[in-house]
Amino acid sequence: FLSSKKTSKIPNISPKQGLKVKTVAIIGAGTMGAGICIAFLRAGYRVILKEINEKALEIGVNRIVNVINRMLKKMKMNPMALEYLMRNLVPQITYDHFDTCQMVIEAAVENIKIKQSIFSTLEQICNKTCILATNTSTIDIKLVAAKTNAIDRLVGLHFFSPAHIMPLVEIIKTDQTSAATIATCVNVSKKIGKTPVVVDNCVGFTANRAFFPYGQAAALLLECGVDPYHIDKVLERFGMPMGAFKMADLSG
């Protein structure tokens, strides 16, 4: 408990340095984009959700509606709450109104060229103070920012799947990330009920970097002929909430 409380106290950075955020744009309405969107809608933010075409947008919005409906049912809440949450969602396939956002979170596919091109566009159309965040799982933040001049406000904001449930958010800074960017990300993460942890920029950041050898060990056992259900059972008996293979199946 104390450790998780301590994570938001960042040396030499005060929450007062954070910028006010009211509107957030999310790029990509896939597994992660939809989950991140739900977390922001629940906290009362206005969310612009951008996809590449109408079909992908429809699938993404349906995913959001289904998850919210399931949540409302579980919490025994009035189904009308769906309408209340969705009134703040602006689904679209263009970059219209991105100049009204104080923060953009990119959750498109894990492809360096695509991410570089998205951020180069964002730099042109967003306000000069807008925080530009990427949900990349592993890519070096400096590489994502390579085609921009916005390295001081381009930051990693790494959610975990399912993003509307998992509390951890890694905030990945480089040696050029501004204090205002870090403070804004910490403040916003707390506002949406997450536990922000500021980490340094390196392959896999902290969580996935620690996770790689764990996954590799499980895969090695599988390759040696051990039953995956048995491996998962042993991991769960050890104390993991879920085995490595079950988790891989769930996260896709």
State the residues that interact with ligand NAD by CB under 6 A.
Answer: 27-33, 50-52, 56, 107-110, 114, 118, 135-137, 159-161, 251-252
Question: 113 CB contacts (<8 Å, ≥6 apart)?
Answer: none
- Which CB atom, from 13 or from 38, has the smaller least distance to ligand NAD? 38
> Rg of the Cα trace of the chain?
19
Q: How far is the CB of 219 from ligand NAD (least distance, A)?
A: 17
DSSP codes joined into one string, 41-80: HHTT-EEEEE-SSHHHHHHHHHHHHHHHHHHHHHTT--TT
Q: Which residues are catalytic?
A: 158
Alpha helices by DSSP H, 128-178:
141-144
- Which CB atom, from 112 or from 226, has the smaller least distance to ligand NAD? 112
Region for 12 from its dihedrals, namely left if φ exceeds 0, alpha if ψ lies in -120 to 50, beta otherwise: left
Is the CB of residue 98 less than 8 Å from the CB of residue 48? yes
Spatial distance between the Cα atoms of 91 and 124, rounded to a whole number of angstroms: 21
The token duo for 3 is 């450790």
- Which CB atom, from 59 or from 226, has the smaller least distance to ligand NAD? 59
Q: How far is the CB of 225 from ligand NAD (least distance, A)?
A: 28
Q: How far is the CB of 133 from ligand NAD (least distance, A)?
A: 11
Q: How far is the CB of 37 from ligand NAD (least distance, A)?
A: 11
- Which CB atom, from 51 or from 232, has the smaller least distance to ligand NAD? 51
